[in-house]
Amino acid sequence: PSLKDVFAGDFKLGTALLVNEISNPNGPDAQLLKKHFNSLTAGNELKWDATEPRNGEFNFTRADQIFQFTMNNGIAFRGHTLIWHSQTPDWVFHDANGGLVSKEVLFERMKKHIDTVVGRYKGKIYAWDVVNEVIEPADGKPGGLRSSLWYQIAGEEFIEKAFVYAHEADPAAKLFINDYNTDQPWKRQFLHDLIKRLQNKGVPVDGIGHQMHIGIQSPSVLDIDTTINAFKDLGIEQQITELDMSVYTNDTDKYDAFPLDLQKKQAARYREIFNVFRKHKDEITAVIFWGKDDQNTWLRTFPIVRNNWPLLFDERLQAKYAYWALVPRT
C-alpha cells in the first residue's frame, strides 16, 4: 500500500530527499518517492549556501531539479529553509573588512535573498520554514533565543523581518517556524510564548514545524501528545517536518546490524506515534520524514559516522517492520 493513501484523510505524508535520489527520474529511488509521498522537502538544495553562495549570485540548478520532479508528478513542494544559523555563508554577516555588518545591511541582504528565493517559486511552494532552530538551551539548561549571528546583529527583530519579507514575496505560502526537541517543557513554553509575541505584533506566522528527530526510547508518546496539545490555543497549523527515529539512546553506541528486537520496538513505537498524529489530524496538516530510507539518512554521519536505521525503508529500499506497522492489514 501507498503511505500517502493510507493517511489521505488525515494529513499530507512526505519526505525530504536529496537531488541525487532523482538523478534517474524513473529509477527505484524515484519510484518509491512517487508511490508513497505527496509532499517533498529539499534536504539541502534550498538552503542559503546552496541558493546564494556569494552575494547576489544565485544558483537554482539543484533546487529546480527537485521542483520539476514535484511538478511532473503532482507532488506538493515544501520549502526548507530561509533563515538558519547553519549552512549559511559567512559573507551574509560580514563586510569587506571582516567586521559584522549593521542591522540595516543584514536586513537588506535578507530581503533580497527571500525575495529572490521565495519569489522564484511563488505559488508553487506551499509552505516555507522561514526560520529554523532559533531557540537554544544554555549549557543544557533552559535557554532562550539562539545566540546566532542573526541574533547578535539584529536581536529578535530578525525573526519578524523574515516572516514579513516571506509574506510579501509569496502571500499564499504558509509560513512556519521550525525547531527540534519541541517536546522539552521549557523549549515548548519558550516557543509558544515567542509565537504569541509574534502574533500580537501582527507577524504572519501560519504554522509551527516540529522537526521530531527522536530516539528509540524518548520522548515518550505522551510527551508528543502533550506537545501538540500545548500549541493548539495559538490557532495555527502544526506539521511534523523532519521525522526520524534513531535506534540509539546516546551519541556513541554503534551496531553492526540492526537487532531484531529493536526493529520490532521501532515499528511499535512508530505505530503509537502515528496514532497520536492521527488523533490530532485537525491540527497536523503534514507529517514528513527526513528521508525515505536508511541509506539516505543524515543519521549515518550525525552525530558520528555509524550505521543507523531510523526510517521506514532499508538500505535496499525494502519495507521494514516500521513500514508494515503503519499500513492497514488486508
The catalytic site residues sit at: 133, 242
Considering only residues 90 to 119 of the shown chain, the ones binding ligand XIL according to CB under 6 A are: none
| CB-based contact 242:16 (threshold 8 Å) | yes
**What does the alpha-carbon distance between residue 302 and residue 47 come to, in Å, rounded to a whole number?**
18
CB of 182 to ligand XIL, least distance (A): 12
**Amino acid identity, position 5:** D
Q: Please, what sign has the CA dihedral across residues 39, 43, 46, 48?
A: positive
**What does the alpha-carbon distance between residue 311 and residue 288 come to, in Å, rounded to a whole number?**
11
CB of 18 to ligand XIL, least distance (A): 7
CB of 241 to ligand XIL, least distance (A): 8
Q: Which is nearer to ligand XIL, 2 or 44 (CB)?
A: 44
By beta carbon distance, the residue nearest ligand XIL is 298
Give the position of cell 536505521: 309
Binding string, residues 44-63; x marks residues near ligand XIL by CB under 6 A: x-------------------
CB of 70 to ligand XIL, least distance (A): 18
| CB-based contact 108:152 (threshold 8 Å) | no
CB of 60 to ligand XIL, least distance (A): 18
Q: Under the criterion CB under 6 A, does residue 295 sit at the interface with ligand XIL?
A: no
**What does the alpha-carbon distance between residue 14 and residue 292 come to, in Å, rounded to a whole number?**
9
Q: Under the criterion CB under 6 A, does residue 88 sit at the interface with ligand XIL?
A: no
Instruction: Pick the binder of ligand XIL from 298, 306, 319, 325 (CB under 6 A).
Output: 298
Q: Is 229 helix (H, G, I), strand (E, B) or coil?
A: helix
Instruction: Pick the binder of ligand XIL from 70, 88, 211, 246 (CB under 6 A).
Output: 211
**What does the alpha-carbon distance between residue 183 and residue 231 come to, in Å, rounded to a whole number?**
11
Q: Under the criterion CB under 6 A, does residue 43 sit at the interface with ligand XIL?
A: yes
Q: Is 75 helix (H, G, I), strand (E, B) or coil?
A: coil
Q: Which is nearer to ligand XIL, 10 or 179 (CB)?
A: 179
Q: Which is nearer to ligand XIL, 132 or 238 (CB)?
A: 132
Considering only residues 214 to 253 of the shown chain, the ones binding ligand XIL according to CB under 6 A are: 242
Applying CB under 6 A, what is the total number of residues that bind ligand XIL? 6
- The cell numbers describing 321, all together, are 517492520
Q: Please, what sign has the CA dihedral across residues 203, 207, 213, 215?
A: positive
Q: How many residues are present in the chain?
A: 330
Interaction site with ligand XIL (CB under 6 A): 43-44, 132, 211, 242, 298
